[in-house]
Amino acid sequence: MTQITIQTPDDWHLHFRDGDMLKETVAATARCFNRAIVMPNLVPPVTNAQMINAYRSRIEQARPDGSQFEPLMVLYLTNDTTEQDIIDAKAAGTVAAKLYPAGATTNSDAAVSALDSLFPIFEVMARENMLLLVHGEVTDHHIDIFDREKEFIHRNLSRIVDGFPNLKIVFEHITTKDAVDFVLNAPENVAATITPQHLLLNRNDLLVGGIRPHNYCLPVLKRNIHQQALRAVVATGNSKFFLGTDSAPHEKSKKENSCGCAGCYSAWSALELYAHVFEELDALDKLEGFASHHGADFYGLPRNSGTVTLVKEDWTIPEMITLPNGDPIVPFFAGETCHWKLKA
């Protein structure tokens, strides 16, 4: 097969950041994705309807000329989120709210440290038909970083799923066989996103031969057995699993320092790299469902009407991208060969 055409896909989890960086990140995503779920972990975080509307406006202003790209907005949950915050955010067109355990990842210090106090909020979200998006890791210092997803499932996610059967839940950027098995065995109101980096890499690619800061993300890359579980489940075409890049840009200087930032900036190559993976799995026929159908169906949104075409063509992902402010950024898989390319 030398060419594949699929319905226009969506990215169900990414980070645009803010300010001048939007001119880079929005264009990178809009080149092939029609919609994207936009993470709200800015500084300060997006915690109310007014901030939702303002952030959406900034993203729309950064769209390339003629682009119809649609940002799908997300509310950042805190210990102080109220029922009215949910109602107002829903009225402002917000599709989901994001549960970050406090301290779990970039700009999450203001997030949730008292999970049980949010259970009444989850009731309101279910009533308002607002999805719950979950960064599924505990943050206790005594829990090994490679076990934090598994522990979150056992300690927290299972209780949320059992307690709120009418609440749609997306277990985001899953990284373990434990998460795959949990989602497979969960009710139909539970789904998951999977990133290109967790399909392509395992922790050897982060640690062997020296630390590779541009492969550092959270949740962190796991053992090969977990990578293989992710690859195996996407190859089945199961509709509970769909595309979410978790594309997360950081300037090169912030990745390559004594306390490097977590995140892989994959937007300029993500769809091509997913095709690369699905071809390796002899499952290119499952790519359209994963990229274009399953997420829209789970969110209760219409599938896109257009198409994109990928051609079998080797190309090298750039070593560097220059941001509008002149700062360099190293994209995910920089310098590596990808076997599929988006057709102009």
In a domain, 4, yes or no: no
In a domain, 150, yes or no: yes
* Model confidence band, residue 249 (pLDDT cutoffs 50, 70, 90): very high
pLDDT at 113: 84
Mean pLDDT of the chain: 96
Range of the domain at 224: 9-305
* Model confidence band, residue 106 (pLDDT cutoffs 50, 70, 90): confident
> pLDDT tens digits for 20-30?
999 999 999 99
CATH value at residue 272: 3.20.20.140
The stretch 149-154 carries a mean pLDDT of 97
In a domain, 324, yes or no: no
218 is in an annotated binding site: yes
16 is in an annotated binding site: yes
Rounded to two decimals, the pTM is: 0.97
| CA distance linking residue 162 with residue 231, whole number of Å | 27
In a domain, 332, yes or no: no
User: Is the pLDDT reported for residue 268 higher than 80?
Assistant: yes
13 is in an annotated binding site: yes
In a domain, 176, yes or no: yes
Tokens of 131: 């999805």
Tokens of 307: 């198409």
173 is in an annotated binding site: yes
Instruction: State the alpha helices, DSSP H only, in 164-203.
Output: 177-185, 196-200
* Cα-based distances in Å from 41 to 45, 155, 258: 5, 24, 22
In a domain, 230, yes or no: yes
> pLDDT tens digits for 203-231?
999 999 999 999 999 999 999 999 999 99
User: Is the pLDDT reported for residue 105 higher than 80?
Assistant: no
> pLDDT tens digits for 271-296?
999 999 999 999 999 999 999 999 99
* Model confidence band, residue 111 (pLDDT cutoffs 50, 70, 90): confident
Task: Name the residue among 318, 309, 319 with its Cα closest to residue 341.
Answer: 309
Tokens of 298: 């789970």
pLDDT at 107: 63
Question: Count of domains in the chain?
Answer: 1
17 is in an annotated binding site: yes
User: Residues with catalytic annotation?
Assistant: 246
In a domain, 329, yes or no: no
The stretch 75-102 carries a mean pLDDT of 96
> pLDDT tens digits for 118-131?
999 999 999 999 99
Ranges assigned E (strand) in the chain: 3-7, 11-14, 35-38, 70-76, 96-99, 131-134, 169-171, 190-194, 241-243, 307-316, 321-322, 328-329, 337-342
In a domain, 218, yes or no: yes
pLDDT at 112: 82
Query: In this prediction, what percent of the chain has a pLDDT beyond 90?
Result: 94
